[in-house]
Amino acid sequence: MGSGGWGRQEARRSADAFRAARASDRGRADRSGQGDRRRAPPRHCWVTDPPAAPGRWPGVVVGWRTVDGRWEGRVVVVVGSGAEAGVLDLWLGEDKLAPA
């Protein structure tokens, strides 16, 4: 039975990248390690008050960038529920994001 094209080495690299991102988060006071954030794997997060959807929503950070020296995360978040649910894909400041 196939593994969907995902082998042990890929899983190990993904796990190593996740551990490195977590270590980077723990050392947040030391900004010198923050350059690696752009290569961080997607991670679950909490999104606070995205545009037109006040509240706290579960999301996934899929990328990072810096704007004027501040980090922004590209997040995908589902807001609402049932037939009223919608998907947002947007860049938000890191102050609007928290680890899940």
Q: What DSSP line would sit under 16-49, residue for residue?
A: HHHHHHHHHHHTTT-GGGGGGGGGPPPEEEEEES
Q: List b or e across 46-84, with b for residues whose CB sees 16 or more CB atoms inside 10 angstroms.
A: ebeebeeeeeebebbbeebeeeeeebbbebebebeeeee
Written as tens digits, the pLDDT of the chain (100 aa) is 444 555 565 555 655 665 666 666 555 444 444 556 777 788 999 999 998 899 999 999 999 999 999 999 999 999 888 998 899 999 999 999 999 8
